[in-house]
Structures are given as structure tokens and as C-alpha cells.
Structure 1
Amino acid sequence: MTKTRIYINGRFLKASVTGVQRYAYELLRTIDQLIGRDDPAVRGYEFIVLAPTGEIHELGTRHIEVRQAGRFNGQLWEQISLPLLAKNGFLLNLCNAAPLFKRRQAVTLHDAAVYSVPDTYSSAFKMWYKLMFRTLGRTSPLILTCSENSKDELIRHCGIREDKIVVIYHGKEHVLQSGSAPDYPAQQGLDRPFVLAVSSRSPNKNFRSIVRAAELIGDQGFDFVIAGGTNPKIFKSEDAELGNNVRHVGYVEDEELRTLYDRASCFVFPSFYEGFGFPPLEAMACGCPVVVSDTASLPEVCGDAVLYCDPNSPEDIASKIAKVMQDPELQQDMTQKGLAQAAQFSWEKCAYETLGEVKRHAIGRYAEKVARSENRKAQA
């Protein structure tokens, strides 16, 4: 039996790993596992990742081929080479971008950030992604996204028909499978309880407010640990020194981040906007109590397992952090609720739902179209 070929846009293998790329890696690795055990969901299908030539990150799949081919790089490869390479199959694009003139394809649009937090991006970036989102929303038979909030915003901003956009939540097992680095906290001199934040260079992540919240709380016997991204000293207020209780540990490996989640007494995430929000889900999966913004998709992902804060109010952020840190019973209750909430999300569920939608909304409709065309030819 001839297998239906599904190509995957592998341009993400050239990029550093953020949440969008994390989704692509984990989804494909899970599909690879389904192939390995001959799961009915993947029978009759062949999966090939197409990537530009040159150095790429390792995908780590055993049953999904990674094929490097085509001229160009970057957007030119994606818009010109990729549709030619995938002309005899269906194309699945996982990272917010896809060739504009390919019809047999699906694309995951993770959020509408270029509309909702436009100051985060350059003018050229915004112009291109707005054009791409509107075009793909009109021409692609299936749009996937990761939250109802993102779905609503994509419909509103991009004019995508509601019947062609489907919400599929991400998973969290990657953080539990990463291993740990038990000596890391001691190496960083973390011998007191601490509040953890995972930083980024994006102003959307609102780490200025975390530093301000730390200033408001002062030294009450616990530290603030900020991992990754920009040194928080650049976010300090002009008339106040950054407190000695704020520690910036810089870039962390996955094992080190897992250990920080495990050891933290509280995780704080005051982001202004998220399409999904991996960090609070990862923290909950590790049993860490979470304080998170009451905005965008975060209430949808975190449910009633967290304390919510106003991201525009460092005073409210400080108040919620202090409440968690001063109440061990509350910490235990939030840990249990967080574990239960995180258990609702899995990469296997994400893979099954993605495969189902691709087959039903895209490949199935295309097959019906081909059959109708052949019937018309036969009748003529």
C-alpha cells in the first residue's frame, strides 16, 4: 500500500530553542515514538522533515527522516525551495511560518503577538508576519493554535474562518524527562529558600516588574533567582540599588532548570502576553507553586492551581509572592493543585489530536477533492 507522505517544515532546526521550537521538537519526537510502536494513528503515513542545507540542530528521531535539500536559506528557502521539495505531499508547518503559495498544508500559528504586543517587534518583522498570517489564514485548509485565547485573537485580527482553526494544547513531559543537576543550587550559592523567574530579553516578559517586586519585598529571608536572558540590573529603578537578595544565574541547561523548578518555593511569571505559556506549566509539573499574570492564555493553561497577579502592578506581584512564601500550607495546596492541572497536558495527546486534525481537515479534504475531479473526468 502506498503511504501518504507528510512533509514537515524543518526550518526550525536552524533556530535556537524557544517555546515555539520546543513545541516542534517534542511533537515530532512523540510522533516518532508512535511510529516506533506501529500505532494506528500513523499507519499509512510517511513523515519526512525537510530542512535547509548547512548546520542544523539534531532532531533525535529514529523513524522520521531529516532531509536537507534546496537552495537558499531562511525565508527564501521557506518560500521558494520548500514548496517545490514538498510538491508531492502534504506539508505541516509548526512554527508560525509557511510558504504562502502552497495549498496542501497546515500551519500552527501560536499567537497573535504581532497584533497584541506590537512594540516587541521590528516594523519589518510585523509587516511580514501580518501579511503571512492573513494569507495563510485564507489559503491553508487547516490552522492549528495552542489556546482558545490565541484562536479568538487570530480570528479577530486575521479574518480566519472559525471552522478552519483548531486548538490543540501543548505538553509538559519534556521538563520531567530532562534529568536534574542536584549540585547546581549549591554551586550558585543558593542556600536559602528562593523565588524563581525565567528571564528573556523581550520586554513582554515584564522582568522589570519582578525586580521592582523584589525591591518592595526586601530581604525577608529568601532570594529571587532569575535564570536566563538579560541581566536584571538593567531593569532596576534609577533611585534604588538592586537588592542582594536578587541573583541572576544567567543561561541554564535543561537539567539545571529542572533542578531550579524542583527546589524553588515559588515560581513567578508576570508576562504581559503569552500564546500558551510553557514556563508556568513546567513549574506546576515539577510541583512548584506558581504566581502568574491574569492575562491572555495563562488563566486557560493554569486554571485554579495558581495565584494570579496584575502584571501592571509590581505591588500586586510582590503581595502574591509574599503570600506564597509566608504560608507553607498554601505552598503544599498549590503544589497538589498544580500537579493535577499539569497532568491534563501531554505531548502524546497533542500528537494524537494533531494527526487526527491533519488527516481529517487537510488530507481527507484533499482526497475528496481529487476523487471528485477524477469522477468528473470519468463522466466526461
Structure 2
Amino acid sequence: MNRILINGNFLCRNLTGIERFAWEVLARMDKCIKDEDISIYIPANAKVFPEYKNIHIVISEKQIRSFPLWDLFYFKGACKKLKAIGLNFSNTAPLGKYCGFAFLHDIYAKDYPKDFAGFKDKLIKIYCRLNYRNIAKNAKKVLTVSEFSAARIKKAYKVPDEKIKIIPNGWEHFKDIIPDGTVFEKFPSLKKGSYYFTLGSLSKRKNLRWIAEYAKEHPEEHFAVSGKAISGLVPPELKDLQTLKNVTLLGYVSDAQVKCLMQNAAAFIFPSYYEGFGIPPLEALCCGTPAVISKSASLPGIYGTAAHYIDADSTNCSISDLLKEPVSSPDEVLETYTYENAAKKLLDILQSC
């Protein structure tokens, strides 16, 4: 097995889906490593510094001031100097032959270019699509998180089957979180068991339009919406939500508050029209909370008969009626999609190349 150098750029980002995936998978892969030569290259200004027993930690003298600069030059230089193959988790990688192993969780900017409307967001779109193409063409293995994403990558960039590997997400981080009920003190309008909860960054693909339209049509039903706005990718429906009396906008909430909200919701609503995987419904299912999700992108292939489904483009339904319909036990889904399984699959791939 070749020497592997992990790109620690995710340690300088907020802990959202991709960053959590990297953090959780590496923590478990560290326990599986025996004689493999695996290191992680961490920027000097990382927000957190992990403690590993078997993954060697290399702290760079360089700080991340620009993620493109880090990926294209600093991390590439470290791979070159240490004669290592890079492992990149964040949909980005050095250009050309130093691309290494690289994750493409999805190709959102390729599939939905119109969601990137402002000047800054058009630059983000260009940068994302540059990385998609580079990884698809130059990665030693293209790693992704679902059958849906694998199919989209193969079709869009003509990636052969043998070059792409699927390593799905997990949920175990959620079971160790202690619920924080102070969120109900902060938002007294929320009554336990009588609201629907939706979670995610307030970006267009999370489909707040669906929530806004449904809430308008059903003023007797209450919604709690958490999430932090992403520059330029915020839908206009956010303004509508701010005016609705039956919608509580929570803003950023901690993991502990999220767990408490999940546990006490009548259902978790996830109307996204585009997800490479979609972790939040797993978190809901592990709490015993019904998940109502859109039948779009990766979601049906992952959640199967364990969830209730809505049309991302239509609110012509009744959530309360949907919840009366039977679903299968979530046990098989929760046993299949774990970080433990992901870590073992990733290590097997690294060992075989």
C-alpha cells in the first residue's frame, strides 16, 4: 500500500455534512489501521485538532487563507514532498496527477447551475465544476456517497464503473449527543409533539418553497425551521416564511438542540430536491421520529420503505394523512448506513490500490 496523506482542509470549515462525514469516518478508520502508512496534513489554523492513535498528524506551517490556494498548492506540495497519495474529502483536490483519492459527494453545481445566480455564486459554480471535472478525470479513485451520485458522475463525466466507489454516510454521531431542551425556553411557541421540524442550511436545494407553500395552505399546522443562510443561495421563500405565524425560524441551533427538536417533533420534514445523500433523515429515524422526505435524487434509494414521501414540486398532500400510512422499520437502513461501515470500505479501497 502506498503512503496516504489526508487533506485536513475540512478541519477549517464549519461542521456540516461533508465535514462531519470526514471527521466521523476518520475517527473510526483510525481504529482499523494496523501497519498502513496514513497521515493527515492539518493547516496551522485548524478549528480543531483531532487525536488519533494510528493516523500520523502532520501540522503544516501554512494557514488556510484561501481554500483553492491550499488545495492547489500547499496540499499538493506536501504530497509531493512526502511522496504520498492524497485523500480528499471536500469535493476539491489538487489538479492533475496529484489529485489522489477524492470524494465527490454530489455534482450540484453541474446539475443545477441556475441555483447559482449572484456574481459570487457564479464564481463558486465555476470553481466547483472545475473540481468536479478534475476529480472525475484525474483521481486515482472517485469516491462518492450514493448510487444516485455515482450514476450522475458517471453520466456527466464519462467515468468508468471501475473507477468510482461508493462509501455512504452514517448517523452514529447522533446517538452520543445529549439533548438540550433550552430551545423550548427560547421558542415558547413550539409545543412538544405538535410541530414539524425541518433542518438544513437555508440554501435553494433544501426547498423552503415547499415548506412556505404548505404552511400557507395549512395554517393550523406548525413548522420549526432551523438552518443558517448561505450567501447568495438563499431562496426568496425565506421572506415568506418570516411572515407566517405558523412557522418558527430557529436560525442556528446546536447539535444538542437539534436532537431535542427531533425527539419532540411530530415528524421530520425534508423536502430537498437535490441531495447526494441526506444525513438528517437518518438522525430523525434513529430518534424514532417519522421522516417525511421528497422522492428526489438519492433519497428514495437510501430510505426505501422506511420513510414517507412527498413530491418536491407539489404540496398537494396532507402530512397528517401521510403519517397514518405504514412504513417499514428503520433498523435495516440504520444498520446499513453507518460510519463504521464507511470506514472499513474506505480502508479496503486504500489498501487495494
Q: What TM-score does the superposition give when structure 2 sets the normalisation length?
A: 0.88
Give the secondary-structure state (helix, strand or coil) at the position aligned to 1:315: coil
Deviation at 1:102, TM superposition (A): 3.7
Deviation at 1:249, TM superposition (A): 1.8
User: 1:72 and 1:230 mapped to 2: Cα distance?
Assistant: 26
**Aligned letter for 2:17?**
G
| Segment drifting more, 117-126 vs 6-15 | 117-126
Cα 1:234–1:77 change in 2 (3 A) is closer
Native 8 Å contact 1:287 1:339 kept in 2: no
Native 8 Å contact 1:224 1:245 kept in 2: yes
User: 1:61 and 1:18 mapped to 2: Cα distance?
Assistant: 21
Cα 1:206–1:233 change in 2 (3 A) is closer
Tell me the residue number matched to 2:320: 322
Tell me the residue number matched to 2:112: 117
Structure 2 residue 17 is matched with structure 1 residue 22: no
Native 8 Å contact 2:79 2:98 kept in 1: no
User: 1:20 and 1:57 mapped to 2: Cα distance?
Assistant: 16
Tell me the residue number matched to 1:311: 312
**Aligned letter for 2:148?**
N
Q: Deviations over 1:30-65 (max 9, x none)?
A: 112x1xxxx4xx221133211223243343545434
Native 8 Å contact 1:10 1:51 kept in 2: yes
User: 1:340 and 1:191 mapped to 2: Cα distance?
Assistant: 31
1:161-180 aligned at under 5 Å gives the runs: 161-180=160-179
Deviation at 1:304, TM superposition (A): 0.7
Alignment identity in percent?
Answer: 28
User: 1:237 and 1:128 mapped to 2: Cα distance?
Assistant: 29
Native 8 Å contact 1:178 1:255 kept in 2: yes
Give the secondary-structure state (helix, strand or coil) at the position aligned to 1:45: coil
Cα 1:236–1:13 change in 2 (3 A) is closer
User: 1:154 and 1:210 mapped to 2: Cα distance?
Assistant: 30
User: 1:15 and 1:54 mapped to 2: Cα distance?
Assistant: 11
Deviation at 1:339, TM superposition (A): 4.0
| Segment drifting more, 65-74 vs 144-153 | 65-74
How many residue pairs align between the two structures? 340
Unpaired runs of at least 5, structure 1 = 363-380
Q: Deviations over 1:68-107 (max 9, x none)?
A: 3154632112111212212222211111111013447200
Tell me the residue number matched to 1:75: 68
User: 1:267 and 1:146 mapped to 2: Cα distance?
Assistant: 22
Native 8 Å contact 1:289 1:338 kept in 2: no
Q: Deviations over 1:202-259 (max 9, x none)?
A: 111111210221111121xx52111123499962687x98442221222111111111
**Aligned letter for 1:50?**
Y
**Aligned letter for 1:26?**
E
Tell me the residue number matched to 1:356: 348
User: 1:24 and 1:270 mapped to 2: Cα distance?
Assistant: 25
**Aligned letter for 2:88?**
N
Q: Deviations over 1:118-154 (max 9, x none)?
A: 1233222222322322222222221110011101110
Native 8 Å contact 1:225 1:247 kept in 2: yes
User: 1:25 and 1:99 mapped to 2: Cα distance?
Assistant: 20
Q: Deviations over 1:344-380 (max 9, x none)?
A: 21111000001101221x3xxxxxxxxxxxxxxxxxx
Native 8 Å contact 1:53 1:70 kept in 2: yes
**Aligned letter for 1:315?**
N
Tell me the residue number matched to 1:256: 257
User: 1:55 and 1:347 mapped to 2: Cα distance?
Assistant: 23
1:92-103 aligned at under 5 Å gives the runs: 92-103=87-98
| Segment drifting more, 347-356 vs 101-110 | 101-110
Cα 1:214–1:128 change in 2 (3 A) is same
Tell me the residue number matched to 2:78: 85
User: 1:210 and 1:188 mapped to 2: Cα distance?
Assistant: 19
Q: 234, 237, 240: which is aligned to 1:235?
A: 237
| Segment drifting more, 7-16 vs 80-89 | 80-89
1:49-198 aligned at under 5 Å gives the runs: 49-69=40-60, 71=62, 73=64, 74-87=67-80, 88-103=83-98, 105-121=100-116, 122-189=121-188, 190-192=190-192, 193-198=194-199
| Segment drifting more, 142-151 vs 223-232 | 223-232
Native 8 Å contact 2:182 2:257 kept in 1: no
Native 8 Å contact 1:70 1:81 kept in 2: no
Cα 1:177–1:154 change in 2 (3 A) is same
Native 8 Å contact 2:242 2:249 kept in 1: no
| Segment drifting more, 291-300 vs 136-145 | 136-145
Cα 1:65–1:180 change in 2 (3 A) is farther
Give the secondary-structure state (helix, strand or coil) at the position aligned to 2:6: strand
Q: 325, 333, 337: which is aligned to 1:345?
A: 337
1:271-282 aligned at under 5 Å gives the runs: 271-282=272-283
Cα 1:249–1:85 change in 2 (3 A) is same
Deviation at 1:324, TM superposition (A): 4.2
User: 2:242 and 2:46 mapped to 1: Cα distance?
Assistant: 43
Deviation at 1:273, TM superposition (A): 0.3
Tell me the residue number matched to 1:202: 203
